[in-house]
Amino acid sequence: MTKFHIAGEFSDSKSGEVTEIRNPATGEVVDTVPKGTEEDARRAVDSAHEAFEEWSQTPPTTRGSFLYQGAQKVREAEGELSILLTQEQGKPKKEAILELRRFASTLEYYAGLGVSIRGSYIPLHDHNRYGMIIKRPIGVCGAIVPWNFPVSLMGNKIAPALVAGNTVVVKPASTTPLTSIRCIEILNKTGLPKGVLNIVTGPGAIVGEELLRNPKVRKIGFTGETETGKHVMSVAAQEIKRVTLELGGSDPLIVCEDADLDGAVKAAAVGRFFNCGQACLAIKRLYLFEKIADPFIEKLIERVKRLKIGNGLEEGTIIGPLHTQKQREEVESQVEDAQKSGAKVLTGGKRPTGSEFDKGFFYLPTLLSDVPDSGKIVQEECFGPALPIFRVKNLEEAIEKANSSIYGLGSSIWTQDFSKAHYAAERIEAGYTWINSIQTIYDELPFGGLKHSGLGKEHGIEALEHYLETKSIVIAT
């Protein structure tokens, strides 16, 4: 059993109950974790609360040095950690390694940014007074994380929170706690003071809920579904807690008639099928200009048919299983709904056959055409390997369709004409627009959605601001 961490110690749950963590590719039990209770969550919050005063007075460079050391140790352990991440989450090992490196680089980025926390001196109109603006940490922060990128999304919260002088309680998703616990253990072993960084496993509705309600928790960094995010915001409102919400998405990709087709085909395939399509910023709607639609679709089908599907630990696997049976059924029902309304399956549209797929939640990468705009796969978030393809007459129509979603997380456009790209980037309602680029996330750039995709930013200096309070001081001379 992998125990959770409270006040720098391994800890069991008071409930004595455990949760089995299963491999989505094989159904085998990977390990068990304690099934945490409200009391366990309270113990973690209390330890973070006790550690806060001293940690908040620790110089940012010292705080950052723990993150640097932790990042180094995570890099050293990436072989062992990536196997564990693949086993519990299902993603190909190559992607697990990328995720761990992303986690390490986020720790390093914020470790270095600690020195940039500063206030200012303000002359006032009363001649014998001046003002100062100082930045202070908020207090105990809850980090609530989903299962699709359990480690990197945890890093997006703990790194800015800790370097800003806050203490943290992490609540990982119930199905992916193992690698996160190992990473927290590694970070704690760098000598972080007890209670600064804690992790408690257990159901969202119990452990997560306690973090939302506990008055000692002053900020919630949440990533997950939009519906859960609305709940988080409404409960946090009772204590006027700060929230950062990173929620669902339905990213459009627009390919204009003058685009580099091979580059755009690659971006569509990687953007849709990375992590078996289970990414908030995956390409979920593809808008092709009429003129290039046929050759583009031909190239995309050919590329998608070559994607090797299998257990993420096998060499060469590009597409692993979906994370859970429920997740697969959701995608199946969206594809079925589209087919009932006249959509054509261009490739995929079913589970793969063969004994090696029997015990896992596999689904073939799927391309669909002739999907009505009212289809579930367009209106809802499609969190799996299926992509509806649409034809558009011009840029205005493409932008209008791109903006027709309740979501506004990422977006992409491919064109050789930069003024066209810029025109679109200013009009697409999304927190990010990639122009002629695969969707890569950068620590340096703020990331976060508009509309139902979220509130606040992760990454960049902007995220650090979300973990700091601004305070004014007036000094009479």
Q: Is 246 part of the annotated catalytic residue set?
A: yes
Among 144, 200, 283, 430, binds ligand NAD (CB under 6 A): 144
36's CB contacts (< 8 A; 6+ apart) are 4, 13, 15, 200, 201, 202, 203, 206, 207
Q: Does 248 bind ligand NAD (CB under 6 A)?
A: yes
**Tokens read off for 175:** 């199905």
Q: Is 276 part of the annotated catalytic residue set?
A: no
Among 3, 231, 284, 466, binds ligand NAD (CB under 6 A): 231
**Tokens read off for 302:** 């050919």
Among 34, 64, 195, 249, binds ligand NAD (CB under 6 A): 249
Q: Does 106 bind ligand NAD (CB under 6 A)?
A: no
Nearer to ligand NAD, 83 or 450 (CB): 450
Closest-CA residue to 201 (of 2, 87, 35):
35
**Tokens read off for 462:** 């902007």
Q: Which of residues 204-223 bind ligand NAD (CB under 6 A)?
A: 204-205, 208-209, 212, 223
CA distance 230 to 10: 33
Residue 170 in 3-state DSSP?
A: strand
Q: How far is the CB of 23 from ligand NAD (least distance, A)?
A: 18
Q: Does 445 bind ligand NAD (CB under 6 A)?
A: no
Q: 150-163 and 93-113 helices cross at what angle (nearest 10)?
A: 10
The answer to whether 432 and 129 are in contact (CB under 8 A) is no
Among 173, 236, 253, 428, binds ligand NAD (CB under 6 A): 173
**Beta carbons within 10 angstroms of residue 4's beta carbon:** 28
Q: Does 382 bind ligand NAD (CB under 6 A)?
A: no
- With contacts defined by CB under 6 A, name the span among 130-138, 201-209, 267-275, 352-360 that binds ligand NAD: 201-209
**Tokens read off for 264:** 């755009």
The answer to whether 5 and 199 are in contact (CB under 8 A) is yes
CA distance 342 to 336: 10
Q: Does 178 bind ligand NAD (CB under 6 A)?
A: no
Q: How far is the CB of 38 from ligand NAD (least distance, A)?
A: 12
CA distance 220 to 231: 12
Sequence-ordered alpha helix ranges (H) in 146-244 = 150-163, 178-188, 209-213, 226-237
Rg (the chain; Cα; Å): 23
Nearer to ligand NAD, 38 or 314 (CB): 38
Q: Which of residues 270-299 bind ligand NAD (CB under 6 A)?
A: 280
Q: Does 150 bind ligand NAD (CB under 6 A)?
A: no
Indicate which residue of 141, 276, 280, 382 is catalytic.
280
The two beta strands, 450-451 and 407-408, are: antiparallel
Q: How far is the CB of 214 from ligand NAD (least distance, A)?
A: 11
Residues in contact with ligand NAD, shown as a per-residue x/- string from 327 to 366 under the rule CB under 6 A: ----------------------------------------
Nearer to ligand NAD, 195 or 249 (CB): 249
Nearer to ligand NAD, 64 or 155 (CB): 155
The two beta strands, 344-347 and 140-144, are: unpaired
Nearer to ligand NAD, 139 or 146 (CB): 146
Q: How far is the CB of 333 from ligand NAD (least distance, A)?
A: 16
Q: Does 7 bind ligand NAD (CB under 6 A)?
A: no
Q: Does 41 bind ligand NAD (CB under 6 A)?
A: no
Indicate which residue of 95, 209, 246, 330 is catalytic.
246
Q: Does 409 bind ligand NAD (CB under 6 A)?
A: yes
- With contacts defined by CB under 6 A, name the span among 70-78, 157-165, 187-195, 242-250 that binds ligand NAD: 242-250
DSSP assignment of 419-460, as one string?
HHHHHHHHHS-SS--EESS-----TTS-B--EETTEES-BSH
Query: Which phi and psi angles does 72 have, rounded to 5°?
Result: -60, -45
The answer to whether 364 and 301 are in contact (CB under 8 A) is no
- With contacts defined by CB under 6 A, name the span among 76-84, 138-146, 420-428, 467-475 that binds ligand NAD: 138-146
Nearer to ligand NAD, 232 or 389 (CB): 232
- Size of the residue set binding ligand NAD (CB under 6 A): 32
177's CB contacts (< 8 A; 6+ apart) are 2, 4, 21, 33, 88, 150, 199, 201
> Which residues belong to the active site?
246, 280
Judged by the rule CB under 6 A, the positions of this chain that interact with ligand NAD are 144-149, 153, 171, 173-174, 204-205, 208-209, 212, 223-225, 228, 231-232, 246-249, 280, 381, 383, 409, 449, 453-454
